[in-house]
Amino acid sequence: MIFKIAWKNIWFKPLNTVLSIILLTASVAIISLLILLQKQFEKQFSSNIDGVDLVIGAKGSPMQLILSSVYQMDAPTGNINYKEAKVWMKHPYVKTAIPLAFGDNYRGFKILGTTADYLTKYDTKISSGVLFTKNFDVVLGSEVARKMNLKVGDTFFSSHGDAVEGEVHEEHPYVVKGIASSTGKVIDNLILSNIESVWAIHNHEEEAETVVATTHEHHEGDNHEHDENVVEYDNHEITAVLIKLKNKMGFVLWPRLISQNTDMQAASPAIEINRLFSLFGIGLDALQYLAYGIMLISGISIFIALYNTLKERKYEFALMRVSGASRSQLLILVLFESILLCFVGFVFGTIVGRLGLYFISTSTEQDYKMAFNPFEFAVKEEGILFLTTIFVGVIAALIPAVKAYRLNISKTLAHA
């Protein structure tokens, strides 16, 4: 009964109600969007650097090296000599070393030359088909296979560089040998081949047919077998190396040693991503303060609306008292009206926030191959947001509710 009366009362002045709901919706939408965006952004960035202590690459911006090599979101800082990089890859401090060679692209999806260890790093398996075993064999990330509608046995031609409209290499078709299982990480949007394919298509096209096929197996002897087959490529270049260390002393010493003694640099993903999070967090905090400011304004709007309508509805309240309503019931009615407004604003706000995240995800997925899930719930953070919204409603209605509680029936009806 109270719900029905409260719902009718909040539409007593529809313009005030609509304004309050719009302000609440805007504030909740912004905060909800930022909560989901920050949580998923940090989750995706953190999950992709698991198992990578350092990245060795060409000198330049450490942040650019991390973004390009780990997240495939930027142009690389350059190339490094494979023979020089192997000196560090074989260091006693190193547990695993995964070389990366950036190749061409297929309709915007990067072709990455690497080893089977790259799949192991992302805890992915071949869901159908087999691993690449020779030049121009590829394994597709799950999203590439889905979006391009490719299956095992299909062939395609790559375009030069990162540009979708680049020169097409029609002399060397890539053959889909396998499709990787979905991980929700960057590997889902990559096309993987062996490193020799990248070298062959760019520098040794005439030798491509005679290059010894390299088999990559998941065991400790894998690196030695690989080195014997590609010794002729020692003077070739790769883009970067993902390093996982046995001894954490390398984490401290290597960046300075490599920078001073080679033409390469060693960057720490953890350090660079923390720096990115701090910069990203400043902007998010500013937007959150703005959103809470809007929520405060919406609370003031609700207070003004309830306070003004209380004067016009005091005769209605007096009649309700005469009909048997208690003081407490009037107080609860006014509080409930405000809480109902805030609840409606919260529901609309979470819907609008998720719509905003969907459109952001569409853009980032197209440009950076990074998707966000608008249907994910941040239970703790959004729970706090809900309680904050309801609290604003209670505070806004407190004075009007107390005035309704203290309403003098005889004086009110005498002046009716």
pTM above 0.85, yes or no: no
For the chain of 416 residues, list the mean pLDDT of each consecutive stretch of 10. Answer: 68 79 91 90 86 94 93 89 93 94 90 94 92 94 93 91 73 92 92 92 51 38 41 74 89 90 93 86 81 88 80 71 78 85 93 94 80 88 93 88 77 63
What pLDDT, on a 0 to 100 scale, did the predictor assign at position 400?
A: 82
What pLDDT, on a 0 to 100 scale, did the predictor assign at position 163?
A: 67
Number of helical (H) and strand (E) elements in the chain, helices listed first: 13, 12
What pLDDT, on a 0 to 100 scale, did the predictor assign at position 226?
A: 41
Place of tokens 């597709």: 140
What pLDDT, on a 0 to 100 scale, did the predictor assign at position 233?
A: 54
Tokens of 25: 């919706």
Strands (E), 316-415: none
Closest CA to 158 of 166, 150, 146, 148: 166
Q: Report DSSP letters for 34-58, one per residue.
A: HHHHHHHHHHHHHHHTTT-SEEEEE
Q: N- to C-terminal Cα distance for the chain?
A: 26
Distance CA 238, CA 212 (A): 19
Closest CA to 42 of 355, 350, 372, 283: 372
Paired sense of beta strands 264-267 and 109-114, if any: unpaired
What pLDDT, on a 0 to 100 scale, did the predictor assign at position 301?
A: 86
Annotated domain spans of the chain: 2-45+276-414, 54-267
Angle at 257 between CA 255 and CA 259, to 5 degrees: 65
Closest CA to 114 of 145, 160, 151, 82: 82
